[in-house]
Amino acid sequence: MNEVMVLVDIGSTFTKVTAVDMEKRVVQSRSAAPTTPADVSVGLQNALEGLNLAKGVLQPARVLACSSAAGGLRMVAIGLVEDLTAKAAKQAALGAGARVLKTFSFQLTEEDREEIISLRPDIILLAGGTDGGNTENILHNAKVLASLPEPVPVVIAGNRSVAQEVARCFPESFSTSIAANVMPQIGKLQVEPAREAIRRVFMEKIIYAKGLTKASRLINGIFMPTPAAVLRAGQLLSEGTAVTKGWGDLVIVDVGGATTDVHSLGDGMPTKTGVVVRGLPEPYAKRTVEGDLGVRVSVVSLTEAVTVPVMAEATGWSEERVEERVRMLNDQPETLPTNAEEVFFDQILGYQAVRLGVGRHVGKLSELYTPSGLVWIQDGKDLSKVSRVIGTGGVLINSDAPLTMLEGAQQAEVASLELRPESPQYFLDGDYILAAMGLLAQEHPETALTVLQNSLGEHELSRRDM
């Protein structure tokens, strides 16, 4: 019997499992079952039985899992200066698959402390100061955090000159971890060590806190938050391996009921001559999360961002009918469309979530007048030459017109100052394969890349398919 790896994604709504034949490098079977929040092992067992594992039809070698259940990984990031170490800390947290509840900068106040208590983060990322630089700020913030009434795991990724002293500020119950500084010197970003530390804390501490240990008898371990697995898959697909060439720069857009996540893989340097980059260097693998751009739980804020008149014009509905539909979707987020008009309304929501989410993720150009003349300034990543955009998330995968929505990512205006993809190919994660292959890539990157390229290649989107 061929060796099989089983990859599990425990989501807030569904638990999805994928069995991969390791010898043939193909997906052998897939299954899904509703997640059971009271005891996730029940939903996981139901999903595994869909693969016939219980009947011995498949013989898994290992069962690996990622999870976004129980609200995902909730984090607070703290740095010294909002545009520098605080931004670097946020990038590290997002890249680790976290949902960043808030970013704080400078010295924490009593009001900040009270807000952190109310936010109830799973992990706190504490940064501040370049190596050998400011020490007062991070020590002050450590003492404020140490006074929190409930212990929280803290990842320290600031000035290495005082990292040990910062750790000693916390009672043992807080479980501190020290990682390399997210910004060791001005203008230098170093987020990978902090991301890895966050992943270790997630595995060692947060899984237990969220009650996911009940699933441990069925799996070999929950190795990362689901968004981190998706970003890992994107990085593998972009960079390739020593044996297989990757796809190069790409963008992944994940439209959900509550958020729209955008991942970009590429250095994002200027593609036009005479452009000067401003601000911190961007990470090659970047993730942003737009908590107000969901098509169900966040549909009210999405509609506010688009505006009701624009939604009415796009759908051909009256403004009153748009508002009524939005209220209904907000009150009953499990609602599915029942006719062609409601399907079209969901498509418009999906298109706008993609358009706004990608617009916030990409870099922007602006003009700066200097004594030497006009200079173009780039803030963020230039993604104009990205060759592939991949869509995932239920509203896209379950749609008959995913390309219509995904084209919201593309540059629509010739003279636009947003550095969006100009003429990419579009692909759909039709097999829900991204998170699973991000997990598999941890141990078997070549197999994961083969499955990724084959699956996505079968779901390339074009106008002739519509």
Residues ≥6 apart with Cβ < 8 Å to 292? 298, 301, 302, 304, 305
Q: Where in the chain is the domain with CATH 3.40.50.360?
A: 73-206
Residue type for 308, please?
V
Per-residue pLDDT at 130 exceeds 80 = yes
Higher pLDDT, 241 or 218: 241
CA distance 72 to 83: 26
The predicted pLDDT at position 53 comes to: 55
Candidate from 56-70, 127-141, 298-312 with smallest mean pLDDT: 56-70
Q: Which DSSP letter does residue 96 get?
A: T
On whether the CB atoms of residues 88 and 114 are closer than 8 A, the answer is no
Per-residue pLDDT at 199 exceeds 50 = yes
Per-residue pLDDT at 203 exceeds 80 = no
Task: Encode pLDDT of 48-86 as tens digits.
Answer: 888 875 445 556 678 888 887 666 678 899 998 887 878
Question: What is the pLDDT averaged over residues 256-281?
Answer: 90
Tokens of 72: 């995902």
Beta bridge partners of 20: 5, 27
Dihedral sign from CA coordinates of 232, 234, 237, 240: negative
**E strands within 26-79?**
26-34, 60-67, 73-78
CA distance 260 to 268: 21
Secondary element (H or E) of residue 381: none
Mapped onto helix, strand or coil, the DSSP state of residue 271 is: coil
Higher pLDDT, 21 or 71: 21
Higher pLDDT, 38 or 225: 225
Q: Which DSSP letter does residue 241 get?
A: -
Closest alpha carbon to 103 in 118, 88, 117, 114 = 88
User: CATH number for the 73-206 domain, one of 3.60.20.10, 3.40.50.360, 3.40.50.300, 3.40.50.620?
Assistant: 3.40.50.360
The predicted pLDDT at position 54 comes to: 46
Question: What is the pLDDT averaged over residues 293-299?
Answer: 88
CA distance 73 to 422: 33
The predicted pLDDT at position 71 comes to: 63
At 310, the pLDDT band (50, 70, 90 cuts) reads: very high
In the chain, the percentage of residues whose pLDDT exceeds 70 is 92
Task: Give the Cβ contact number of residue 244 at 10 Å.
Answer: 12
Whose structure tokens read 């690996």? 64
Question: What is the pLDDT averaged over residues 328-334?
Answer: 87
Dihedral sign from CA coordinates of 336, 310, 252, 181: negative
CA distance 87 to 284: 15
CA distance 195 to 189: 12
The predicted pLDDT at position 191 comes to: 85
Closest alpha carbon to 8 in 51, 39, 72, 58 = 51
Q: Where in the chain is the domain with CATH 3.30.420.300?
A: 4-70+213-219
**E strands within 360-446?**
364-370, 373-379, 388-392, 425-428
pLDDT mean across residues, the chain: 88
Q: Which DSSP letter does residue 205 get?
A: I
- What kind of fold does domain 4-70+213-219 have according to CATH? Nucleotidyltransferase; domain 5 (3.30.420)
Secondary element (H or E) of residue 326: helix 319-331
Tokens of 317: 């509905």
Question: What is the pLDDT averaged over residues 99-121?
Answer: 92
Residues ≥6 apart with Cβ < 8 Å to 339? none
On whether the CB atoms of residues 103 and 90 are closer than 8 A, the answer is yes
Question: What is the pLDDT averaged over residues 108-137?
Answer: 93
Per-residue pLDDT at 435 exceeds 80 = yes
Task: Encode pLDDT of 205-234 as tens digits.
Answer: 666 655 666 666 777 777 788 888 999 999
Per-residue pLDDT at 173 exceeds 50 = yes
